Structure 1
Amino acid sequence: MTQSSKKNKSSQTSKNNPWIELIQTVITAVILSFGIRTFLAEARYIPSSSMRPTLEVNDRLIVEKISYRFREPIRGDVIVFNPTESLEAENFKDAFIKRIIGLPGETVEVKAGKVYVDGEKISEEYIFEAPNYNYGPSRIPENEYLVLGDNRNNSYDSHYWGFVPKNKIVGKAFVRFWPFDRLGSLYEQPIYLK
């Protein structure tokens, strides 16, 4: 048997062998899945009521990871982020989901049930109820963000533990896919200044 006929026979065997095809398919799927989850998007579920009414417990959503490579996060974005240093010090390991309220360089204050950014009250149609606490005024450092839960009085957020560095942001939550009766975008109301 010649060298070329051995190669042809070996290549035909791998093409006709269902186990080899299955292994190749599984390996390809794993590589694609890892690449998509790492660089493009991933599914997340909501474990708490801190984002009510926008997100309910057990809602499922897609977090996209591309847009912040081309633009800065903006006020109103619902983001998923890894624990900050202060949260890690409290032994938090799971990612958080909150809404960006304050941007780098801005001053945020919460008083009399309203949120003020650089002295201007922002409109917040999406919150569960007005905050019953005071916060600030606090100036946000460069490359960091102030985040609050939409369920202001039941959210462990920036008014407790500080700001979120940009490098901790995983991505932007943009669409809910479960439950089906709440399927759709998380951004239906224009609510922000600037």
Structure 2
Amino acid sequence: MSVDKEDKLGDFLLEKTEKMLTWRKRHKMLSRERSRRKGFFLDLLTSIPSTLLIVFLLNLYVIQAYVIPSESMNTTLLPDDRIFVDKFHYGPEIWLGVDKHLPAINPVVRGQIITFPNPDYESKGVIFETLRRFLFYISLTSVDIGRDAQGNPPIDLLIKRAVGYNGDRLIFRDGELFIKGEGESFELPEHFFQRVNNISYYTQRGYTQDNSELVAKLAEYSIYRDLRLTLPAHLERFEEFSQERTRYLGRITQGNPFPRSLASMMIYANRQEKLDDYYRHNRGIYVPHGYVLPLGDNRDNSLDGRYFGVIPQKIVQGRAFLRMWPWDRIGGIH
């Protein structure tokens, strides 16, 4: 074989070898890149469940996202406000649907806005409650499988202000609150009681004391109508008093239950439960030690401790501390 042919064959083999090595190198690089990407996505996929579980547990035991369901805390908290609740210090439930709570690190403080189980809520079991709350959290409060046929979300937790405290007696007159602290000889109006105890919060009224006589008469009217009794002459005018009746009647039992309890007691004075209800509102609500009386800041539109009574401090689950939505109202909650 001539030298020229040998050189050409050598160049040919060298070229093929370089191409082969280059291809193998590129193939290895691509394989490593594919493995790296595959590993990244696998890591991502495997990390999502653990991340969601961590978020869920944080919401369950440390900081809970909560949506304000009603107007009962106006104007401090408005419907659909998104807030954060500190649960770490206040004894959250051991698990969803389980009526047992972890011990609290800090006690409830008078004037705090607290969350606690709704006495009227009927749990659907551990599995349903866990799934419902999990979907609610990971969807950033946009998905709630517990909604009723009308689309209303279930209210398993209530949010109110801790107003009545250890040893207090609370009395409502024309919707205004008077507080008699333990060991005190007389009650103080709520705003003055706040100053004496160095606390500050605002309440909202739906009607003024100028409307108290009207409210009392409407309370009596509502009792007669509920019981389908013949109206006495002094209440007949309310049959045509539709505008004012519509305006105030819905607020009677919520904001000022005393007139209704008085009217009910007058009609059924021989029934012990009617007498008990009247005396409770006439003499005031006593708050034993270790309990709290929660009230809404919107005093004429709040179903609160005036109806379901005092609650044990040990079932308080958290304290509202931060509003995260809407954007123009982000900030601390007091």
Report the TM-score range of the alignment, normalised by the length of the smaller protein. Answer: 0.7 to 0.9
2:57 paired residue number: 35
Query: Where do residues 121-132 of structure 1 align in structure 2 (5 Å cutoff)?
Result: 121-123=189-191, 126-129=202-205, 132=256
Q: Does 1:97 align with 2:138?
A: no
| TM-fit CA distance, 1:137 | 1.4
Q: What TM-score do you get using the length of structure 2 for normalisation?
A: 0.47
1:160 paired residue number: 307
Q: 1:79 aligns with which of 114, 129, 144?
A: 114
Contact persistence 1:111–1:133 (CA under 8 A):
no
> What is the CA–CA distance in structure 1 between the aligned matches of 2:313 and 2:75, rounded to whole Å?
26
Q: Does 1:181 align with 2:203?
A: no
Query: Alpha carbons of 1:93 and 1:50: their partners in 2 closer, same or farther (altered >3 Å)?
Result: closer
Query: Alpha carbons of 1:160 and 1:51: their partners in 2 closer, same or farther (altered >3 Å)?
Result: same
Q: 2:177 aligns with which of 98, 109, 114?
A: 114
Where 2:72 maps in the other structure, the secondary structure is coil
| TM-fit CA distance, 1:148 | 0.6
Gaps of 5+ in 1: 1-12, 188-194
| TM-fit CA distance, 1:14 | 9.6
> What is the CA–CA distance in structure 2 between the aligned matches of 1:127 and 1:185, rounded to whole Å?
17
Contact persistence 1:15–1:21 (CA under 8 A):
no
Query: Alpha carbons of 1:38 and 1:15: their partners in 2 closer, same or farther (altered >3 Å)?
Result: farther
The structure with more radius of gyration: 2
Structure that is richer in strand per residue? 1
> What is the CA–CA distance in structure 1 between the aligned matches of 2:36 and 2:114, rounded to whole Å?
46
Query: Where do residues 45-64 of structure 1 align in structure 2 (5 Å cutoff)?
Result: 45-64=67-86
More off after superposition, 138-147 vs 108-117: 108-117
Query: Alpha carbons of 1:93 and 1:128: their partners in 2 closer, same or farther (altered >3 Å)?
Result: closer
> Percent identity at matched positions?
28
Contact persistence 1:98–1:149 (CA under 8 A):
yes
Provide the aligned length of Structure 1 versus Structure 2: 172
Contact persistence 2:116–2:316 (CA under 8 A):
yes
Q: What TM-score do you get using the length of structure 1 for normalisation?
A: 0.77
| TM-fit CA distance, 1:44 | 0.7
* 1:36-77 per-position Cα deviation (integer Å, ceiling 9, x unaligned): 112210111111111101111111110011233332111111
| TM-fit CA distance, 1:19 | 4.1
